[in-house]
Amino acid sequence: MKKRWLILAAEIGIEAEAATQIWRSLVTAYGENGRFYHTLNHIEHALNVAEQLQDVAVNFTAVQLALWFHDVVYDPRRSDNEAESAAYAERVLRPLGVSDALLAKVRELILATKSHEATTQNPDVWVMLDADLAILSAPPVQYDAYARAIRQEYSFVPEEQYVVGRTAVLQTFLARSPFYFTEWMRERGDTAVYANLGRELTRLK
């Protein structure tokens, strides 16, 4: 993962020393106590999926940067994680010469992960959201591990309250048809998504 980050950083003109410092910051952020799903493993999985969708993207560099930073600030007690993550990316990257135009695209993509809805016909948003939610179409064992990890991140929430909140999230996702935005993910993931979400919903009941 470090090599992957350094290559991307070099592509946008960030010198190796500064890129390494950012890498250390990312490792620290994604390794914070209390993170069980929103770790560098999630970022790696999302990047791997995004690479499969690269031909759909208009600005794949922006998508990659957004994926690296989109969960860098994560506190399940807060509702502004996406905005704070976008601000973090801007704060770190702007002094290193990353253009305002690219940063604006990165910000848009990160903010899109708050609702996970594509409000514009932007292929970069489609790729971003499909990559971020690719875990929902994972094999059952992997999905169930994800669901347990999310529960661990919300361990401070009483069970009854968690069930109500999580049920609402799952029902919102189940109401989406199709689920994914890109044809590649729809063909490979939509059926599995509904099966996984339905199974978790049944378990919560």
**31 and 70 belong to one structural domain:** yes
Three state DSSP letters for the chain: CHHHHHHHHHHCCCCHHHHHHHHHHHHHHHCCCCCCCCCHHHHHHHHHHHHHCCCCCCCHHHHHHHHHHCCCCCCCCCCCHHHHHHHHHHHHHHHHCCCHHHHHHHHHHHHHCCCCCCCCCCHHHHHHHHHHCHHHHCCHHHHHHHHHHHHHHCCCCCHHHHHHHHHHHHHHHHCCCCCCCCHHHHHHHHHHHHHHHHHHHHHHC
* Domain-ending residue, one of 60, 85, 114: 114
Domain that holds residue 13: 1-114
Residue 144 domain-assigned (yes or no): yes
- Looking at residue 193, its pLDDT comes to 98
The string of pLDDT tens digits covering residues 147-180 is 999 999 999 999 999 999 999 999 999 999 999 9
- Looking at residue 94, its pLDDT comes to 98
- Looking at residue 205, its pLDDT comes to 86
**103 and 160 belong to one structural domain:** no
- Looking at residue 195, its pLDDT comes to 98
**108 and 137 belong to one structural domain:** no
**26 and 106 belong to one structural domain:** yes
Residue 124 domain-assigned (yes or no): no
List of residues 6+ apart from 105 with CB closer than 8 A: 59, 62, 66, 124
Residue 126 domain-assigned (yes or no): no
Mean pLDDT by 10 residues, the chain (205 residues): 98 98 98 98 99 98 99 97 98 97 98 88 97 98 98 98 98 96 97 98 94
How many domains does the chain divide into? Answer: 2
Q: Taking the model in full, what pTM does it have?
A: 0.96
**82 and 152 belong to one structural domain:** no
